[in-house]
């Protein structure tokens, strides 16, 4: 039987790959990635605190807007307290609508990652020229606020069209977070050259966990500690990436922030065994590894 298939990467079972190390001889890299999003009022797409199939009204808009008014600042205080560097998937509209955000992220030395214009739209249904325009507009606004072009991309709703990786590579992006196929990075093929896939969890992600599956904040915190503890054990065999994905309008709520802080404190107690980094730094390190070490690097 011949199924529809993708041609971006070849199959690779993790035990068959070369073993390498992260900087400092570490085997587990930790990525804490936050999503900063801005939405249209009473229009387009957007999640809702009550679950799936949201109605776009003033309540759902205001719940999400809490993230940029309050939740983000709660979360940044927690990351500062625990000395955790972070990266942020940023809708370009959020930087334009909320002028305090860009300077705050720059002050922390955090990474700006392209995340479309707004999470009121998604790119997988666009014509190629419209999608190219979306990617370039997002890139240019982030460049204006960060001072340097973003290297990484996560599509709104982690959605892609059939040409998204090609357009990203052509627009100057070097890595993408859209392909949750692995606990190690691997290279994707595009018509403009290779594009690195950096692990980005759809499991340790507060949006599907707390909104779609309706887990509690303490269940989500337990997921984080369980995933981390097991990945730390597994990393004795091979290098791995543990990514934790957050949204400030979700975990920036105080009752959710407390168990999240406890889970992050549990992780940072093992800091000496970790490479606590950002996706762009990880991608740069991987790009410097010898050919043949990372899947797809010799394609």
Q: Give the number of other CB atoms < 10 A from CB of residue 210.
A: 20
Q: What's the gap between Cα 113 and its chain centre? A: 8
* CA-based nearest residue to 279, from 227, 244, 248, 249: 244
pLDDT at residue number 49: 84
For the chain, give percent helix, strand, coil, nearest 5.
45, 15, 40
- Collapsing DSSP to helix, strand or coil, 187 comes out as strand
DSSP label of 98: -
Query: Beta partners for 152?
Result: 175
DSSP 8-class letter at 51: B
pLDDT value of position 298: 86
Helix ranges (DSSP H) in 147-216: 164-170, 206
Instruction: Count the Cβ atoms, other than its own, within 10 Å of residue 203.
Output: 11
What are the structure tokens assigned to 158, written together? 């982690």
Show the domains of the chain with their CATH numbers.
20-45+52-287 (3.20.20.370)
Which pLDDT score is estimated for 50?
Answer: 80
Report pLDDT for 72: 98
The angle at the Cα of 145, spanning 30 to 152, to the nearest 5 degrees, equals 40
The one-digit pLDDT tens for each residue of the chain (299 residues) are 889 999 999 999 999 999 999 999 999 999 999 999 999 999 999 888 887 678 899 999 999 999 999 999 999 999 999 999 999 999 999 999 999 999 999 999 999 999 999 999 999 999 999 999 999 999 999 999 999 999 999 999 999 999 999 999 999 999 999 999 999 999 999 999 999 999 999 999 999 999 999 999 999 999 999 999 999 999 999 999 999 999 999 999 999 999 999 999 999 999 999 999 999 999 999 999 999 999 999 87
Instruction: Give the pLDDT score at 258.
Output: 97
The gap from C-alpha 176 to its chain's centroid, in whole angstroms, comes to 9
């Amino acid at each position: 039987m011949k199924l529809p298939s993708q041609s971006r990467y070849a199959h690779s079972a993790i035990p068959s790959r070369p073993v390498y190390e992260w900087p400092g001889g570490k085997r587990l890299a930790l990525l804490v990635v936050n999503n900063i999003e801005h939405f249209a009022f009473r229009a387009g797409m957007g999640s809702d605190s009550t679950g799936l199939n949201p109605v776009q009204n003033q309540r759902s808009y205001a719940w999400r807007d809490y993230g940029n008014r309050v939740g983000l600042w709660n979360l940044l205080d927690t990351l500062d307290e625990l000395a955790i560097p972070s990266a942020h998937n940023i809708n370009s509209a959020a930087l334009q609508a909320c002028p305090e955000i860009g300077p705050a992220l720059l002050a922390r030395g955090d990474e700006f990652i392209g995340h479309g214009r707004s999470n009121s739209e998604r790119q997988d249904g666009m014509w190629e020229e419209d999608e190219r325009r979306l990617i370039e507009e997002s890139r240019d606004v982030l460049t204006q606020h960060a001072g340097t072009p973003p290297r990484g991309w996560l599509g709104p709703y982690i959605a892609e069209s059939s040409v998204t990786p090609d357009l990203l590579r052509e627009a100057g992006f070097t890595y993408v977070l859209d392909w949750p196929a692995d606990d190690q990075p691997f290279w994707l093929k595009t018509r403009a050259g290779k594009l690195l896939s950096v692990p980005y969890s759809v499991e340790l992600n507060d949006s599907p966990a707390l909104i779609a599956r309706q887990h509690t904040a303490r269940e989500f915190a337990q997921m984080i500690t369980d995933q981390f503890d097991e990945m730390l054990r597994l990393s004795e065999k091979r290098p791995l990436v543990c990514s934790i994905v957050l949204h400030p309008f979700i975990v920036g709520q105080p009752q959710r922030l407390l168990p999240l802080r406890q889970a992050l404190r549990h992780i940072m107690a093992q800091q000496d065994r970790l490479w606590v980094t950002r996706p762009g730094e990880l991608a740069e390190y991987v790009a410097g590894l010898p050919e043949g070490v990372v899947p797809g690097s010799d394609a």
